[in-house]
């Protein structure tokens, strides 16, 4: 009973914070046009350890160089690496992309992951996580942006904020993903995910967070928030057209890749 009461309190608190973010930032909705699962998988892989602007540039470069996933599969990994160089970690990502495509072709006979639509969330996550280089954030992004599932991907921003707000006490984004699953109000995962990412980029930054402008100041246990309060009250939040999610971008621009 005590555990149920604690969970109920956490659900109410998270719901109130999600409300506050939606009041400030709006209510994000999934794009009507969904990207293909394999597109989301590769795009999210390209976003690892870089920003969405550079990962999107790498995505576009890869598409221009190789018109189909079959072309990527048949190319040498060095050629793939050159195409995605702007996104960083080019060699590591190129080899992972090659391995993922080789695995999918061997198991399914084509370059498509559309069959994931017929799986439960747990089954789809298990399939994707079995691929080398695919973590919970990457797999969850496929479920959200291509399958429209009510799943909560956790990146470094969300991991940081969830711990500062003491939703969880975890050491990694993967741990946060697992810990947050039972705490999210139904139907709120996408909105909360998107708003927390933008909030983490613009306000609750890793270094020099703008505590003086934070609407969640009273809820936060960041040790230096009072020190930052006065020094950041007049600081402008970072804004710009480059603050987007690559998974939304490829869905909204209608990017389609047929192997």
Domain presence at residue 107: yes
Domain presence at residue 194: no
Q: What are phi and psi of 210, to 5 degrees?
A: -85, 70
Predicted pLDDT of residue 108: 94
Contacts of 58 (CB under 8 A, 6+ apart): 46, 50, 83, 84, 85, 86, 87
Q: Give CA–CA dist 146/153, Å, rounded.
A: 13
* Confidence check: pLDDT of 257 > 50: no
Domain presence at residue 109: yes
Tell me the pLDDT of the chain averaged across its residues: 90
Rounded mean pLDDT, 180-184: 94
Domain presence at residue 258: no
Domain presence at residue 133: yes
H or E element that contains 194: helix 189-202
Query: In which domain, by residue range, is 145 found?
Result: 37-151
Output the domain CATH number for residue 137: 1.10.340.30
Domain presence at residue 8: no
Decide: pTM greater than 0.75: yes
Count of domains forming the chain: 1
Confidence bin at 259 (pLDDT 50/70/90): very low
| Per-residue pLDDT tens digits for 121-131 | 999 999 999 99
DSSP-assigned letter for residue 151: -
Domain presence at residue 201: no
First to last CA, the chain: 52
Predicted pLDDT of residue 86: 96
Predicted pLDDT of residue 8: 86
Categorise residue 208: left if φ over 0, alpha if ψ from -120 to 50, beta otherwise. Answer: left
Domain presence at residue 23: no
């Amino acid at each position: 009973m005590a555990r149920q009461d604690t969970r109920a309190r956490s659900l109410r608190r998270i719901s109130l914070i999600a409300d506050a973010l939606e009041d400030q930032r709006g209510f994000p909705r999934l794009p009507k046009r969904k990207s293909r699962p394999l597109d989301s998988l590769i795009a999210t892989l390209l976003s690892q350890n870089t920003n969405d602007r550079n990962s999107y540039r790498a995505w576009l470069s890869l598409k221009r160089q190789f018109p189909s996933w079959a072309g990527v599969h048949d190319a040498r990994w060095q050629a793939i690496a050159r195409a995605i160089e702007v996104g960083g970690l080019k060699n590591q990502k190129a080899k992972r992309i090659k391995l993922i495509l080789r695995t999918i072709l061997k198991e399914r006979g084509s370059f498509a992951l559309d069959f994931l639509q017929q799986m439960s969330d747990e089954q789809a996550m298990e399939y994707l996580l079995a691929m080398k280089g695919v973590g919970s954030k990457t797999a969850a992004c496929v479920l959200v942006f291509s399958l429209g599932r009510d799943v909560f991907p956790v990146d470094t921003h969300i991991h940081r904020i969830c711990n500062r707000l003491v939703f969880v006490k975890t050491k990694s984004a993967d741990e946060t993903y697992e810990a947050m699953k039972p705490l999210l109000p139904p139907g709120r995962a996408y909105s909360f995910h998107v708003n927390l990412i933008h909030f983490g980029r613009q306000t609750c930054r890793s270094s020099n967070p703008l505590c003086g402008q934070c609407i969640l100041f009273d809820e936060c246990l960041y040790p230096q928030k009072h020190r930052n309060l006065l020094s950041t009250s007049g600081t402008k939040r970072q804004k710009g057209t480059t603050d987007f999610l690559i998974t939304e971008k490829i869905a909204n621009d209608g990017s389609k890749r047929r192997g």
